[in-house]
Amino acid sequence: MEGVVVSAKKNGSTITVSVVSDGQGVYSFPANRLDVGHYALKIRAVGYDLVGVATVDVVENRVATVDLALRKTKNIAPQLTNTEWMLSVPGPDEQKANLLNCVGCHTLDRVVRSTHDANEFVDTIWRMVGYAQVSQPIKPQRRVEIPSWAGTPEQYRKLAEYLSTFNRSPGSKWGYPLKTLPRPTGRATRVIITEYGLPRPTIEPHDVIVDEHGMVWYSDFGEQFFGRLDPQTGKVTEWAVPELKPGYPTGMLDLEEDKDGQFWLGMMFQGAVARFDPKTEKFKIYSLPPELNDKVAQLDFVAVNYPVDGKVWADNAGHREILRLDLKTGRYETFEPIKQLPGYSIYGIAADSHNNLYFAEFQTNHIGRIDAKTGEVEFYETPTLHSRPRRVKMDPQDRLWIGEYQGNRIAMLDTKSGKFTEWPIPTPWSAPYDVAWDKNGELWTGSMMTDRVVRLDPKTSQIVEYLMPGETNIRRVFVDSSTTPVTFWTGNNHGAAIIKVEPLD
């Protein structure tokens, strides 16, 4: 069988290494990736289970061989990804698109396995609205106050009625066929995937970046910690981030490195932006003033091109506003670029070489721009309607790269000409969250849906999708171009792990 992901984990280790079987069903681990020890093996191949328990002892200077037997599974439902559930459930794509809002905190498996009727689903959805985005099933966190944009329970009835048409009543089976994606083939099998387990299952590595020394840094989406991983040893070091608003949800989202090698964090519900100096190992906190720091204040993202004018941009998601911090005075000023646009919302932000701000409008298909000197706002519409642009990054050429979450595309906005270029992802419901580029000009993305990392060559439109060893909730993506071939990094936001993907070509 081609395209079977085979994973090996040494007893007592936090590191799991995975490879993929080739066209002859052969898998192999490079000798320098598995040192001497006793290993447990597992597989991933939708529709199949491993026969028995597979272990192996690796000894020095000898090849260890284990043939793995697979059999067709008797219960395929637990193996399905979010994308495969989207392909399986009935309904038009417009209706299915609502489910993209569910996967931030949990998988769709929870939805399809539920037994709620429409009335119960209204209550359930409203309860979910009351949880902060930093939640996951093992650590839910309630909002102190539900934002006004959340509306009322009854506005979710139409969605509730739809969900109740394809979940399970007690003892019943799904009344529709369960569809699966094909296993990897060809180039998609030529890869090594390394998972670095983190110390606690509640750690959510939302943003992962690599510094010039090869150290891996991450923001913890659900806890007040900032972390660093040494990929050579697997050692994790954490620094406690001050808790400024006790009783409010904890955790951080955006992680950015500035020109001086210092790291900036969006502290979300704690109502602040933090800067961390790795030399002194100290934080400097820029809290919102009391008049802005209310019960729904939520600073998710930062843009740190401050050498231009001494100012840092941030967003206040709770009020759908943009903030600008003057580093000399510590004062914030407020911009309301979507105040006159009901139903709009702001997601990722990025600044160009003049520190003009660009932001993703997440509910429809707009990219906004705030002029740093005049404060004037203008909007650009993506070619794809309802694309829901999510995370954005600015490259050195002032080109804005965009993950079009609902549009199922990667996009680039040339900020000088105002022209968009889009590249579709062939797998439906891939829902790209973010996009990164490498030294070869290739683009990389991932999402909370497919458990796949996507590699796209914009010159040829050729795409390779690398299947991850297990359920992988991908948010920010990062490419280290100092290696040959390049190395892709991301966090498994609900798996308490950091993932390295090394293509072999």
Contact 295, 145 (CB under 8 A): yes
* Tokens 């549009």 sit on residue: 407
501 with 193: CB under 8 angstroms?
A: yes
Residue 171, pLDDT above cutoff 80: no
Joined together, the tokens standing for residue 20 give 């993929």
Summarize pLDDT for 61-102 with one digit per residue, the tens. Answer: 999 999 999 999 999 999 999 999 999 999 999 999 999 999
Strands 255-257 and 48-50, bridge-based pairing: unpaired
Helix (H, G, I), strand (E, B) or coil at 159: helix
Residue 170: pLDDT over 60? no
What count of other Cβ atoms lies within 10 Å of the Cβ of residue 444?
25
Query: Could you tell me the two tokens for 428?
Result: 């439906």
Positions of E strands within 24-91: 37-44, 48-50, 54-58, 70-72
Q: Both tokens of residue 476?
A: 């920010």
User: What average pLDDT does this structure show over 43-57?
Assistant: 97
Per the CB < 8 A criterion, the answer to whether 7 and 13 are in contact is: no
User: Locate tokens 């569809």: which residue?
Assistant: 179
- Return the exposure string of 323-338: e unless at least 16 CB atoms fall within 10 Å of the residue's CB, then b: bbbeeeeeebeebebb
- The tens digit of pLDDT for each residue in 113-147 reads 999 999 999 999 999 999 999 999 999 999 999 98
Judged on CB neighbours under 10 Å (0-12, 13-18, 19+), 223 is: buried
1-19 pLDDT tens trace: 999 999 999 999 999 999 9
pLDDT band with cut points at 50, 70 and 90 for residue 174: confident
What does the pLDDT average to over 151-167?
Answer: 95
Residue 119 tokens read as 């009335």
Residues 247-261 pLDDT 10s: 999 999 999 999 999
DSSP annotation of 184 reads: P
CB contact at 8 A, 45 and 183: yes
Q: How confident is the model at residue 172 (pLDDT cuts 50, 70, 90)?
A: low
Task: Provide the whole-model pTM.
Answer: 0.97
Distance of CA 421 to the CA centre of its chain: 22
Q: What is the dihedral of CA 125, 95, 474, 281, to 10 degrees?
A: -50
* Statement: residue 161 has pLDDT above 80: yes
The structural domains of the chain, with segments of one domain joined by +, span 5-74, 78-163, 237-477
Q: Are 359 and 322 contacting, i.e. CB atoms less than 8 angstroms apart? A: yes
CB atoms within 10 A of CB 250: 24
Res. 173: pLDDT tops 80: no
CA end-to-end span of the chain: 22
Which pLDDT score, from 0 to 100, does residue 329 have? Answer: 96
The token pair at 380 is 């650009």
Instruction: Tell me how far apart the 2 most distant CA atoms of the chain are, in Å.
Output: 69
In the prediction, which pLDDT does 169 show? 67
Query: Pick from 473, 16, 504: which is nearest to 207 by CA?
Result: 473
DSSP characters over 413-476: EETTTTEEEEEE-SSTT------EE-TTS-EEE--SSSSEEEEEETTTTEEEEEEPSS-----S
Instruction: Give the architecture (CATH level 2) of 237-477.
Output: 7 Propeller (2.130)
| Residue 194 in this model has a pLDDT that exceeds 80 | yes
Q: Given its phi and psi angles, is residue 268 left (phi above 0), alpha (psi -120 to 50 degrees) or beta?
A: left
How do residues 203-229 score in pLDDT, each as one tens digit?
999 999 999 999 999 999 999 999 999
For 288-345, what is each residue's pLDDT tens digit?
Answer: 999 999 999 999 999 999 999 999 999 999 999 999 999 999 999 999 999 988 889 9
DSSP 177: P
**Count of Cβ atoms closer than 10 Å to residue 409 Cβ:** 24
The DSSP symbol for 344 reads -
Please state the separation of Cα 441 from the chain's center in Å.
22
Which of 410, 23, 8 is CA-nearest to residue 183? Answer: 23
Share of the chain above pLDDT 70, in %: 99
Tokens encoding 242: 């001050």
Computed over every residue of the chain, the mean pLDDT equals 97
Residue 381's pLDDT is: 97
Tens digits of residue pLDDT in 450-475? 999 999 999 999 999 999 999 999 99
Rounded (5°) CA angle 364-451-3:
135
Segment 364-377 shows an average pLDDT of 97
Query: Residue 369 has which token pair?
Result: 């721009």
**Letter for the amino acid at 407?**
G
